[in-house]
Amino acid sequence: MYLKYLCLCLVILFSYKSRAQEKQNFAQPLHIADSLFAAKQYKKAAPVYAKVRELNYGVLDTAHLYKAAASWANIGKRDSAFLYLEFIAGRGFENERMLSADPLFIRLHRDSQWETIVAAIHQNRVKLIPSVAMELSQMLKNYKEDFEQYQQLVDQHGKTSKEATSFKLHLRETDSVNYIKITSIVNTYGWKGKEYFGPDGPEALITTLLHANIANQKKYFAIVRIAALNGSLPAEGFAILADNIALYENNTQIYGTHLRLNNGQYEAYAIADETGVDTRRNQIGLCTLAVYLQNFRSYSELYYYIK
């Protein structure tokens, strides 16, 4: 029994050493291949890349697969070039523009396989979720149309009129339905940006959340903050949400996004530590409060504020 155990350990040890040695074996020729590629000696570089890939059990990172494809393409070996291009397309390579502009691949442009490769790489770049993008776009369109209709009713009959009050009930019902829709989307895909949810996606998401109750706004606050940090949501959307919650809880805001008219001029509702507001705004990529006040759109265009 002991002898069997010892033999097993030796097999594992030698296997580990063998793999480590193989890794060292292909690291050196990979460096040689890169040097040859950099020196534009593509005829010599191509077979070295192929050998490295063979030594590494058919595995090579995307950057080196690209160089191998370029080397084969430059020396007129179309089949090998397209084989490596298929590898990088399958790896999720997205830089369609770089590939199309690379002079090393010019010889392949007239080949029927070229369009197939380019189409596959384009698909890697396009992350749009069409069904979600369409739903959010329609949601935002409906918000704008409903707001315009509500404003017309207010202008014609007054804010406390039967007509305006009745329509506001309809808006609240719509808000509830839309909130359920966006929570389903966010819980499924996360809070994504325009590349996933389309050009209207981020605005539709934050608008719907701003129409939800404070408890639900707080529930998604951390997610919204991360979305703003990674560029999936404009910083202003995060700031408006943060101020909305702060005003509800403390009667003061953080970034000064919520405004009111005073003698024909827009001014911010009370701001906590107002002297530091521009510093806070700058930290998240917003303009100064003075510039914001100067360029603020009228309420007739700002559909965030249907409450």
What CATH number did the domain enclosing 41 receive? 1.25.40
- Specify whether 85 is located in the same domain as 172: no
- Specify whether 90 is located in the same domain as 143: no
- Specify whether 192 is located in the same domain as 148: yes
pLDDT the model gives residue 122: 83
pLDDT the model gives residue 302: 45
- Specify whether 80 is located in the same domain as 147: no
Q: What percent of the chain has pLDDT over 70?
A: 87
What's the pTM value of the predicted model, to 2 decimals?
0.63
Report the pLDDT averaged over residues 144-155.
91
Report the pLDDT averaged over residues 278-306.
77
Please say if the pLDDT value at position 73 is more than 60.
yes
Where does a domain end: 125, 155, 189?
Answer: 125
Please say if the pLDDT value at position 20 is more than 80.
no
**Number of domains the chain is built from:** 2
Indicate the average pLDDT of the chain: 86
- Specify whether 186 is located in the same domain as 271: yes
- Specify whether 117 is located in the same domain as 167: no
Please say if the pLDDT value at position 5 is more than 70.
no
Where does a domain end: 63, 98, 125?
Answer: 125
- Specify whether 171 is located in the same domain as 89: no
Report the pLDDT averaged over residues 74-94.
91
Domain that holds residue 103: 2-125
Report the pLDDT averaged over residues 52-67.
84
- Specify whether 146 is located in the same domain as 285: yes
- Specify whether 219 is located in the same domain as 157: yes
When mean pLDDT is compared over 8-22, 86-100, 117-131, the highest value belongs to 86-100
- Specify whether 142 is located in the same domain as 280: yes
Among 75, 84, 23, residue whose Cα is nearest residue 49: 84
Where does a domain end: 89, 105, 125?
Answer: 125
- Specify whether 135 is located in the same domain as 271: yes
- Specify whether 38 is located in the same domain as 170: no
